Copies of this chain bind each other. A is one copy, B any other.
Amino acid sequence: MAHETQKAIARQSLLLKSLPEHQIDKLLSHAIWRRYDRGETIFLQEEEAKAVHVVLAGWVKLFRMAPTGAEAVVSVFTRGESFGEAVALRNVPYPVSAEAVSACEIMHFPSPLLLSLMREDPEIGVSILASTFTHLHSLVAQLEQLKAQTGAQRVAEFLLNLSDKVSGGCEVELPYDKMLIAGRLGMKPESLSRAFSRLKPVGVKINRNHAEIADIQRLRDYAESDSSEK
Protein backbone atom coordinates (compact mmCIF):
# COMPACT_ATOMS: atom_id res chain seq x y z
CA MET A 1 0.00 0.00 0.00
CA ALA A 2 1.36 3.42 -0.89
CA HIS A 3 2.67 5.46 1.98
CA GLU A 4 0.46 8.40 1.13
CA THR A 5 -2.65 6.26 1.06
CA GLN A 6 -1.87 5.03 4.56
CA LYS A 7 -1.55 8.56 5.83
CA ALA A 8 -4.81 9.50 4.19
CA ILE A 9 -6.58 6.64 5.94
CA ALA A 10 -5.01 7.57 9.26
CA ARG A 11 -6.18 11.16 8.84
CA GLN A 12 -9.76 9.98 8.48
CA SER A 13 -9.63 7.91 11.66
CA LEU A 14 -11.85 8.90 14.54
CA LEU A 15 -8.78 9.52 16.64
CA LEU A 16 -7.16 12.06 14.33
CA LYS A 17 -9.84 13.55 12.17
CA SER A 18 -10.88 16.32 14.53
CA LEU A 19 -7.33 17.51 15.22
CA PRO A 20 -5.71 20.57 13.62
CA GLU A 21 -3.53 19.90 10.60
CA HIS A 22 -0.16 20.57 12.20
CA GLN A 23 -0.80 18.22 15.12
CA ILE A 24 -1.75 15.44 12.73
CA ASP A 25 1.45 16.00 10.75
CA LYS A 26 3.54 15.86 13.88
CA LEU A 27 1.87 12.65 15.00
CA LEU A 28 2.19 11.06 11.56
CA SER A 29 5.84 11.94 11.31
CA HIS A 30 6.55 10.01 14.52
CA ALA A 31 4.23 7.11 13.85
CA ILE A 32 5.49 3.59 13.37
CA TRP A 33 3.98 1.60 10.58
CA ARG A 34 3.87 -2.18 10.54
CA ARG A 35 2.42 -5.07 8.63
CA TYR A 36 1.03 -8.07 10.48
CA ASP A 37 0.30 -11.52 9.14
CA ARG A 38 -2.91 -13.33 9.82
CA GLY A 39 -2.80 -14.79 13.33
CA GLU A 40 0.05 -12.58 14.47
CA THR A 41 -0.11 -11.11 17.97
CA ILE A 42 -0.10 -7.32 18.23
CA PHE A 43 0.07 -7.20 22.01
CA LEU A 44 -0.78 -9.41 24.94
CA GLN A 45 -3.00 -8.97 27.94
CA GLU A 46 -0.99 -7.73 30.96
CA GLU A 47 1.66 -6.25 28.69
CA GLU A 48 2.39 -2.59 29.34
CA ALA A 49 0.90 -0.21 26.80
CA LYS A 50 3.37 1.92 24.88
CA ALA A 51 1.33 3.14 21.93
CA VAL A 52 -2.08 3.83 20.48
CA HIS A 53 -2.93 1.77 17.42
CA VAL A 54 -4.81 2.72 14.27
CA VAL A 55 -5.91 0.05 11.79
CA LEU A 56 -5.14 1.03 8.20
CA ALA A 57 -6.18 -2.24 6.58
CA GLY A 58 -7.33 -5.68 7.62
CA TRP A 59 -9.10 -6.86 10.76
CA VAL A 60 -7.94 -6.96 14.37
CA LYS A 61 -9.63 -8.70 17.27
CA LEU A 62 -9.35 -7.74 20.92
CA PHE A 63 -9.99 -10.64 23.24
CA ARG A 64 -9.60 -11.73 26.80
CA MET A 65 -8.48 -15.04 28.15
CA ALA A 66 -10.45 -16.17 31.18
CA PRO A 67 -8.46 -18.08 33.83
CA THR A 68 -10.37 -21.14 32.60
CA GLY A 69 -8.80 -20.74 29.18
CA ALA A 70 -12.03 -19.68 27.49
CA GLU A 71 -11.58 -16.85 25.02
CA ALA A 72 -14.00 -13.90 25.00
CA VAL A 73 -13.87 -11.61 21.98
CA VAL A 74 -14.31 -8.03 23.18
CA SER A 75 -14.25 -6.19 19.87
CA VAL A 76 -13.19 -6.39 16.26
CA PHE A 77 -11.66 -3.38 14.51
CA THR A 78 -11.00 -2.49 10.90
CA ARG A 79 -9.80 0.36 8.68
CA GLY A 80 -9.88 3.75 10.31
CA GLU A 81 -10.58 2.48 13.82
CA SER A 82 -8.18 2.87 16.72
CA PHE A 83 -7.68 1.08 20.01
CA GLY A 84 -5.60 1.27 23.17
CA GLU A 85 -6.17 5.00 23.78
CA ALA A 86 -7.22 4.88 27.40
CA VAL A 87 -4.49 2.40 28.32
CA ALA A 88 -1.56 4.00 26.52
CA LEU A 89 -1.74 7.25 28.46
CA ARG A 90 -1.66 5.67 31.86
CA ASN A 91 1.22 3.19 31.88
CA VAL A 92 -1.10 0.40 32.90
CA PRO A 93 -1.17 -3.12 31.47
CA TYR A 94 -3.57 -3.93 28.64
CA PRO A 95 -6.74 -5.59 29.90
CA VAL A 96 -7.02 -7.49 26.59
CA SER A 97 -4.86 -9.12 23.93
CA ALA A 98 -4.85 -8.03 20.28
CA GLU A 99 -4.38 -10.29 17.29
CA ALA A 100 -4.49 -9.76 13.53
CA VAL A 101 -7.29 -11.94 12.17
CA SER A 102 -6.38 -11.13 8.59
CA ALA A 103 -3.24 -9.61 7.12
CA CYS A 104 -3.17 -6.11 8.60
CA GLU A 105 -1.50 -2.75 8.33
CA ILE A 106 -1.35 -0.87 11.56
CA MET A 107 0.02 2.49 12.59
CA HIS A 108 1.37 2.93 16.12
CA PHE A 109 1.61 6.27 17.89
CA PRO A 110 4.04 6.16 20.82
CA SER A 111 2.25 7.23 23.98
CA PRO A 112 4.96 9.63 25.23
CA LEU A 113 4.48 11.60 22.03
CA LEU A 114 0.73 11.75 22.58
CA LEU A 115 1.25 12.85 26.17
CA SER A 116 3.59 15.65 25.25
CA LEU A 117 1.32 16.89 22.47
CA MET A 118 -1.54 16.77 24.91
CA ARG A 119 0.26 19.14 27.25
CA GLU A 120 0.67 21.57 24.36
CA ASP A 121 -2.89 21.30 23.21
CA PRO A 122 -5.62 19.87 25.46
CA GLU A 123 -7.75 19.41 22.35
CA ILE A 124 -5.92 16.14 21.80
CA GLY A 125 -7.20 14.93 25.13
CA VAL A 126 -10.71 15.56 23.90
CA SER A 127 -10.01 13.61 20.71
CA ILE A 128 -8.71 10.69 22.71
CA LEU A 129 -11.71 10.86 24.98
CA ALA A 130 -13.90 10.87 21.90
CA SER A 131 -12.62 7.59 20.58
CA THR A 132 -12.49 6.11 24.06
CA PHE A 133 -16.12 7.04 24.46
CA THR A 134 -16.95 5.29 21.20
CA HIS A 135 -15.46 2.10 22.59
CA LEU A 136 -17.25 2.54 25.88
CA HIS A 137 -20.47 2.96 23.99
CA SER A 138 -19.94 -0.08 21.85
CA LEU A 139 -19.15 -2.18 24.92
CA VAL A 140 -22.34 -0.97 26.55
CA ALA A 141 -24.27 -1.89 23.41
CA GLN A 142 -22.69 -5.34 23.43
CA LEU A 143 -23.60 -5.85 27.08
CA GLU A 144 -27.17 -4.91 26.32
CA GLN A 145 -27.27 -7.36 23.45
CA LEU A 146 -25.83 -10.19 25.48
CA LYS A 147 -28.12 -9.59 28.42
CA ALA A 148 -31.34 -8.74 26.65
CA GLN A 149 -31.37 -10.54 23.31
CA THR A 150 -31.43 -14.12 22.09
CA GLY A 151 -28.65 -15.51 19.93
CA ALA A 152 -30.62 -15.24 16.72
CA GLN A 153 -31.49 -11.62 17.51
CA ARG A 154 -27.85 -10.77 18.07
CA VAL A 155 -27.02 -12.30 14.69
CA ALA A 156 -29.81 -10.27 13.12
CA GLU A 157 -28.36 -7.05 14.56
CA PHE A 158 -24.92 -8.01 13.37
CA LEU A 159 -26.26 -8.40 9.83
CA LEU A 160 -28.16 -5.13 10.06
CA ASN A 161 -24.96 -3.31 11.00
CA LEU A 162 -23.32 -4.54 7.83
CA SER A 163 -25.76 -2.67 5.64
CA ASP A 164 -26.48 1.03 5.53
CA LYS A 165 -29.81 0.66 3.78
CA VAL A 166 -32.93 1.66 5.68
CA SER A 167 -35.51 -0.48 3.93
CA GLY A 168 -35.94 -2.98 1.13
CA GLY A 169 -33.67 -5.90 0.39
CA CYS A 170 -29.91 -6.10 0.16
CA GLU A 171 -26.88 -8.31 0.01
CA VAL A 172 -23.89 -8.09 2.32
CA GLU A 173 -20.59 -9.90 2.72
CA LEU A 174 -19.66 -11.36 6.08
CA PRO A 175 -16.50 -9.45 6.92
CA TYR A 176 -14.66 -12.31 8.64
CA ASP A 177 -14.76 -15.93 9.73
CA LYS A 178 -17.94 -17.37 11.12
CA MET A 179 -15.89 -18.64 14.04
CA LEU A 180 -14.92 -15.07 14.85
CA ILE A 181 -18.46 -13.80 14.32
CA ALA A 182 -19.64 -16.45 16.76
CA GLY A 183 -17.03 -15.35 19.31
CA ARG A 184 -17.88 -11.68 18.83
CA LEU A 185 -21.55 -12.48 19.49
CA GLY A 186 -20.83 -14.63 22.51
CA MET A 187 -21.78 -18.01 21.13
CA LYS A 188 -20.31 -21.22 19.75
CA PRO A 189 -19.99 -21.72 15.97
CA GLU A 190 -22.67 -24.40 16.17
CA SER A 191 -25.12 -21.95 17.71
CA LEU A 192 -24.31 -19.42 15.02
CA SER A 193 -25.20 -21.98 12.36
CA ARG A 194 -28.50 -22.61 14.09
CA ALA A 195 -29.15 -18.90 14.48
CA PHE A 196 -28.62 -18.45 10.74
CA SER A 197 -31.13 -21.16 9.95
CA ARG A 198 -33.55 -19.59 12.38
CA LEU A 199 -33.30 -16.37 10.38
CA LYS A 200 -34.39 -18.10 7.14
CA PRO A 201 -38.12 -17.56 7.81
CA VAL A 202 -37.36 -13.84 8.29
CA GLY A 203 -35.87 -13.66 4.81
CA VAL A 204 -32.15 -14.23 5.33
CA LYS A 205 -30.15 -16.50 3.05
CA ILE A 206 -26.54 -17.33 3.85
CA ASN A 207 -24.14 -18.73 1.30
CA ARG A 208 -20.53 -18.90 2.34
CA ASN A 209 -19.60 -15.40 3.40
CA HIS A 210 -22.40 -13.90 1.37
CA ALA A 211 -25.76 -12.97 2.91
CA GLU A 212 -29.02 -11.98 1.24
CA ILE A 213 -31.56 -10.04 3.24
CA ALA A 214 -34.99 -10.02 1.62
CA ASP A 215 -36.35 -7.12 3.68
CA ILE A 216 -34.23 -5.05 6.05
CA GLN A 217 -37.23 -3.82 7.97
CA ARG A 218 -38.53 -7.32 8.58
CA LEU A 219 -35.15 -8.32 9.98
CA ARG A 220 -35.09 -5.22 12.17
CA ASP A 221 -38.55 -6.03 13.50
CA TYR A 222 -37.33 -9.50 14.34
CA ALA A 223 -34.23 -8.20 16.13
CA GLU A 224 -36.31 -5.84 18.23
CA SER A 225 -39.23 -8.12 18.92
CA ASP A 226 -39.76 -9.37 22.43
CA SER A 227 -38.35 -12.88 22.65
CA SER A 228 -41.46 -14.04 24.51
CA GLU A 229 -43.85 -13.10 21.74
CA LYS A 230 -42.37 -15.28 19.05
**Copies of this chain, count:** 2
> Which residue on B lies nearest to A142, using beta carbons?
B143
Q: Is the CB of A72 within 8 A of B147?
A: yes
Which residue of the partner chain, among B68, B71, B128, contacts A225 with CB atoms under 8 Å?
B68
**For residue A125, which residues in chain B have a CB less than 8 angstroms away from its CB?**
118, 122, 125-126, 128-129
Q: Is the CB of A132 within 8 A of B68?
A: no
**For residue A66, which residues in chain B have a CB less than 8 angstroms away from its CB?**
144, 148-149, 224
Per-residue 0/1 for A69-94: is the Cβ within 8 Å of any B Cβ (1 yes, 0 no)? 11111100000000001110110100
Q: Is the CB of A95 within 8 A of B129?
A: no
Given contacts A122-B118, A125-B118, A125-B125, contact A143 B133 (CB under 8 A): no
A94-145 at interface with B (beta carbon < 8 Å): 95-96, 118-119, 122, 125-126, 128-130, 132-133, 135-137, 139-144
Given contacts A122-B119, A140-B64, A144-B66, contact A133 B92 (CB under 8 A): yes
Is A20 on the interface with B (CB-CB < 8 A)?
A: no
Given contacts A64-B140, A133-B90, contact A70 B148 (CB under 8 A): yes
Q: Quote the shortest CB–CB distance from A43 to chain B (angstroms).
A: 15
Q: Is the CB of A147 within 8 A of B186?
A: yes
The interface size of chain A toward B, counting residues with CB under 8 Å, comes to 46
Bound Cα distance from A43 to B27, whole angstroms:
38
Which residue of the partner chain, among B68, B92, B126, contacts A149 with CB atoms under 8 Å?
B68
Bound Cα distance from A148 to B187, whole angstroms:
10
Is A146 on the interface with B (CB-CB < 8 A)?
A: yes
In the complex, given contacts A74-B144, A96-B140, what are 14 additional A-B residue pairs having Cβ atoms less than 8 angstroms apart? A64-B148, A66-B144, A66-B149, A66-B224, A67-B224, A68-B149, A68-B224, A72-B144, A86-B132, A86-B133, A89-B126, A118-B126, A125-B128, A139-B143
The 9 A-B residue pairs with the shortest CB-CB distance in the complex, in nearest-first order: A125-B125, A70-B148, A86-B133, A72-B147, A67-B224, A66-B148, A139-B139, A72-B144, A147-B186
| 14 A-B contacts (beta carbon < 8 Å) | A64-B148, A66-B149, A68-B149, A68-B225, A68-B227, A69-B226, A85-B129, A90-B129, A95-B141, A118-B122, A118-B125, A136-B139, A142-B143, A143-B143
